[in-house]
Amino acid sequence: MDLFFISLCLLILSALLSFLSRKGTRHWGCGGVFAGSAIGLVFSVQALVQNLTLTKSFGILLPSLSLTFGIDALSAFFLVAIFGLSLLTSLYAWGYLENQDLLLPSLPFFPLLVASMAAVVTAQDGFLFLICWEMMSLTSFFLVVTEHKLREVRHAGWIYLVATHLATTFLIVFFVLLYKKTGSFLFDDWALLISIPPFLSGLLFFLALVGFGTKAGIFPFHVWLPHAHPAAPSYISALMSGVMIKTGIYGLLRALTFLGLPPLWWGGCLVGIGILSAVFGVLYALVQHDVKRLLAYHSVENIGIIMTGIGLGLIGIAEGNAMITLLGLGGGLLHVWNHAIFKGLLFMGAGSVLHVTHTRMIEQLGGLLKKMPVTGVTFLMGAVAICGLPPLNGFISEFLIYSGLFRGAQSLSGLSLFLVVIGIVGIAFAGGLALACFTKVFGVVFLGEPRSCQKEKIHEVPLTMQIPLIVLSLLCLLGGIFPQFVWSSIARVLEVISPLPKAVLGHGDGVLGLLHPVVYACLIFLGLGIVVGLLGRLLYRGRTIRHAVTWDCGYAQPSPRMQYTASSFAQPIAVFFRVLFRPHLQFQKPGGIFPGPSSFAVQIADFAERIFFQPLFSQCDRIFGFIRKIQKGRVQNYLALIFMTLIVLLLWEVWFGI
């Protein structure tokens, strides 16, 4: 693991040098992440391809406690995503941060975030895992509040900080219970647990689901995500949405390796939460006017798709159906990579728009494709991929999950049949709404007439920002055309998290048999598109092509007033789901013989935040308000509180043993 530790050292050194440097902050920060991620990517790809299992311990600090790092197929799988996206993000950040002096003070936390994410997925004992987890949470918090002078940014930062520490509380209880059961913090010792009482295993599953699910952004614990992603700089939003929330998926998968064979209700719970996350995520995305907030809600949707795949895999394990397990877990894992690719692409594309236009509001944007062709075309490819359309990568992973759900509908019965049918309907509904959502985004932002009065100043972003967009869009295409080449890597991960025999997982002939016709169809579809394009160029070569407005209809010159706005596009959906959304309409009707300006806008509050978390936080504020009365700076009061807390903890340990 020497290359891995060299990578970590480079990242930490990069953070230190960018913090101490006054003029070279961008050089040290972005350059260090680029170098460290490149070395880490080489190591992680090698470990995944060769199926390496390595462990490195730094000695025992206290009884039953050691700092142990390790690598297996599951860790390597997530490391490839972390280092791969971080590599491209560092290149993008180089151009994004040029002449952005207000964003540079937080740059030292960028390499620390990458290092902490890598450490989280390689930590092999619970104590070290929590240290790295907390480091990841704090570094991402400081990056979220980069523009802390803005009130909404501070608000987003505090919501994120509270949410992530509430999740950590559940994880601490999870790790403590496992320690009490085994007398060790090592993951290897936890994996040796043979029999866990059903109540304890169910409790541990619940704690892991809430703790890791909050970081992943599952419904209804997602409330921090639509606040934090828009507030952070765009290159950090790409990293957080692309890979940081996936550490929650990693943690849940790792926890499943400790808890033995899953009962049926675990898979049903994940499928139910996954469908709720997918449907609510895309519904709320459709009515957003901030492009980064819209993309944040689509992260909730895609985490829901991943959860549905994992839940389907657990149902397959509980029912003893190997093919459903392969399709569910395999599709969910493949979607982890695919989502990292196209969501990183979309956030970087949105960041490029923000970098040039200085606004995230869809209502103020339009006609950017002519001025920013590279950004527009690559954003379109990311939009097609996230909608699950062929021939791009999002289609393949969703196709595997769909195939598993349909096979379950054919072979399962009872509760399992009901769950897979709900999964089919839910993912199909979410996919249709996602297509409508990105039709709105691309149509309003990149097509039509410019809405900004500064349209003359719009230009394409620098080359260093274009290269990551082009690379990620090509990966979207290659992932849709050649998915069979990554199946062997996914099979190695399944050997870690699934009790199925290695012979079944390694070959996966049934899965490859499903993929081959799809790949051939995608190749034919792509080939036809290329042929039609070439024929068009040959037919019109040498001819004079006249340009005219799209639709005259009596108008001499189209204007933005004739186009759909984001609010008007989503208004039918908002009205249909008004009982759930409770939209606040702002409508100024035209009136008079010579009508003046008119406007229409919809503002919608998040259901989970409005119903659950705002009342909860308000009640907690009232309950613990008395603490403010004793915070008078007297050391005696603080010492008395500490002493009372220690007494309570000792009595709890003596009486209950936990």
pLDDT for the residue 121: 95
pLDDT for the residue 657: 57
pLDDT for the residue 498: 79
Alpha-carbon distances of 640 from 87, 485, 646, 652, 653, rounded to whole Å? 50, 63, 10, 18, 20
Q: Which two tokens stand for residue 555?
A: 């108008």
DSSP H helix total and E strand total for the chain: 27, 4
pLDDT for the residue 4: 92
pLDDT for the residue 518: 80
Sign of CA dihedral 466, 471, 474, 476: negative
Residues 116, 133: Cα–Cα separation, whole Å? 7
The pTM is what?
Answer: 0.90
Count of positions (residues) in the chain: 658
Residues 235, 89: Cα–Cα separation, whole Å? 6
**Three-class SS of 599-652:** EEEEECCCHHHHHHHHHHHHHHHHHCCHHHHHCCCCHHHHHHHHHHHHHHHHHH
Could you give the count of Cα atoms lying within 13 Å of 182 in the half-sphere of its Cβ? 24
Beta-carbon contacts of residue 319 (< 8 Å; ≥ 6 apart):
264, 412, 416
Q: What are phi and psi of 554, to 5 degrees?
A: 90, -5
pLDDT for the residue 43: 94
| Strand positions, DSSP E, 474-539 | none
CA-wise closest residue to 242 among 216, 219, 221: 216
Sign of CA dihedral 24, 228, 303, 584: negative
The four Cα atoms 16, 22, 26, 32 give a dihedral, to 10 degrees, of -20
CA-wise closest residue to 348 among 574, 585, 91, 650: 91
Residues 406, 556: Cα–Cα separation, whole Å? 53
Beta-carbon contacts of residue 324 (< 8 Å; ≥ 6 apart):
312, 313, 315, 316, 404, 407, 408, 411, 412
Query: How many other C-beta atoms are found inside a 10 Å radius of the C-beta of residue 479?
Result: 24
User: Which amino acid, 560?
Assistant: P
Alpha-carbon distances of 24 from 9, 16, 93, 195, 649, rounded to whole Å? 19, 12, 14, 56, 49
pLDDT for the residue 511: 78
Stretches where the chain sits below pLDDT 50 are none
Residues 284, 605: Cα–Cα separation, whole Å? 9
pLDDT for the residue 130: 92
The four Cα atoms 35, 41, 46, 52 give a dihedral, to 10 degrees, of 110
Q: Which residues pair with 600 in a beta bridge?
A: 587
Q: Which residues pair with 587 in a beta bridge?
A: 600
Which run of H or E residues covers position 57? strand 54-62
Residues 336, 486: Cα–Cα separation, whole Å? 13
Residues 495, 501: Cα–Cα separation, whole Å? 8
User: Which amino acid, 473?
Assistant: S
The four Cα atoms 162, 164, 170, 171 give a dihedral, to 10 degrees, of -150
CA-wise closest residue to 526 among 356, 325, 311, 381: 381
pLDDT for the residue 63: 60
Burial of 350 (0-12, 13-18, 19+ CB in 10 A): buried
Q: Are 288 and 605 in contact (CB under 8 A)?
A: no
pLDDT for the residue 303: 94
Residues 429, 410: Cα–Cα separation, whole Å? 21
pLDDT for the residue 377: 94
Residues 299, 284: Cα–Cα separation, whole Å? 11
Q: Are 122 and 75 in contact (CB under 8 A)?
A: yes
Could you give the count of Cα atoms lying within 13 Å of 533 in the half-sphere of its Cβ? 6
pLDDT for the residue 362: 86
Alpha-carbon distances of 486 from 337, 388, 391, 404, 501, rounded to whole Å? 10, 18, 16, 18, 20
Q: What are phi and psi of 288, to 5 degrees?
A: -90, 150
Residues 530, 334: Cα–Cα separation, whole Å? 27
Q: Are 14 and 29 in contact (CB under 8 A)?
A: yes
Could you give the count of Cα atoms lying within 13 Å of 561 in the half-sphere of its Cβ? 6
- Alpha helices (runs of H) in 392-498, residue ranges in sequence order: 393-411, 414-446, 463-481, 487-497
